[in-house]
Chains A and B, each alone.
Chain A
Amino acid sequence: MAAFKAFLNSPVGPKTTHFWGPVANWGFVAAPKNYNWWLQQGLVDTQKPPEMISSNMTAAMCVYSGLFMRFAWMVQPRNYLLLVCHASNETVQLYQLSRWAKAQG
């Protein structure tokens, strides 16, 4: 209970924008299927056949999340939630890239 209260009142907790920025970004990780080609879907797309994977977008997302992982680490205050968000997206996108590469034969 005390730990939860501490979280609520933390400088990077839900009363601050340091929390909600990363929360908004989780949408990109878990997003549903009807999203646009350029705003890459995350986990749901791992169910798509590899022919439908855009290597350009997936590679761009790998660079994007890589950059923001570093950003989340270096920013003041350090933002672990943002780091975890982009680490997850990085993992998903790298997985998609490997699926695409495998399908190239």
Chain B
Amino acid sequence: MATSKLQALWNHPAGPKTIHFWAPTFKWGISIANIVDFSKPPEKLSYPQQVAVTCTGIVWSRYSTVITPKNWNLFSVNVAMAGTGMYQLARKIQHDYFSETEAAVAKE
């Protein structure tokens, strides 16, 4: 029973025998790299870059559902990209606009 399910996945139109599998799988590297960068200090983050990552993730998430074959691997990697981008943006905005007062008080 398990083998037939595995076989179905193996032979899927967006499965590991096709480019529809490997292209998105490789793209996970970008999101993983962004997750590694969660520990980077916010001063070193780039607004244009994180906005680009976020927008690209959102647009491509939609794209993945309207192509043939429908590609949930591509969908999930782009949802992750948008998610990491938004998180990084939130971190940087928080640092730039909402922690200045704390820093000013600390200096006094």
- On A, residues with C-beta under 8 Å from B are 16-18, 20-21, 24-25, 27-28, 31-32, 34-36, 38-39, 60, 63-64, 67-68, 70-71, 74-77
18 extra interface residue pairs, beta carbon distance < 8 Å, beyond A17-B59, A32-B48: A18-B66, A20-B63, A21-B56, A21-B63, A24-B52, A24-B55, A25-B56, A35-B49, A38-B33, A64-B26, A64-B29, A67-B22, A67-B23, A67-B26, A70-B23, A74-B19, A76-B67, A77-B67
Question: Does any Cβ of A come within 8 Å of B20's Cβ?
Answer: yes
Q: Give chain A residues whose Cβ lies under 8 Å from the Cβ of B55.
A: 24
* Pair A34/B46 contact, Cβ less than 8 Å: yes
- Kindly state the separation between the CA atoms of A29 and B105 in the bound complex, as whole angstroms: 43
Secondary structure dominating the interface of B: helix
On whether A39 and B26 interact (CB within 8 A), knowing A17-B66, A67-B19, A75-B20, the answer reads no
With known contacts A17-B59, A38-B37, A67-B22, A60–B67 Cβ distance under 8 A: no
Q: Are B46 and A36 in contact (CB under 8 A)?
A: yes
A90 to B55, CA, bound (A): 22
For the complex, give the distance between the alpha carbons of A71 and B25 in Å. 12
Query: What 0/1 pattern do residues 74 to 89 of B give for CB contact below 8 A with A?
Result: 0000000000000000
Q: Which of A38, A64, A70, A77 contacts B27 (CB 8 A)?
A: A64
Query: Within the complex, what minimum Cβ distance (angstroms) separates A62 from chain B?
Result: 11
CB nearest neighbor in B for A60:
B29
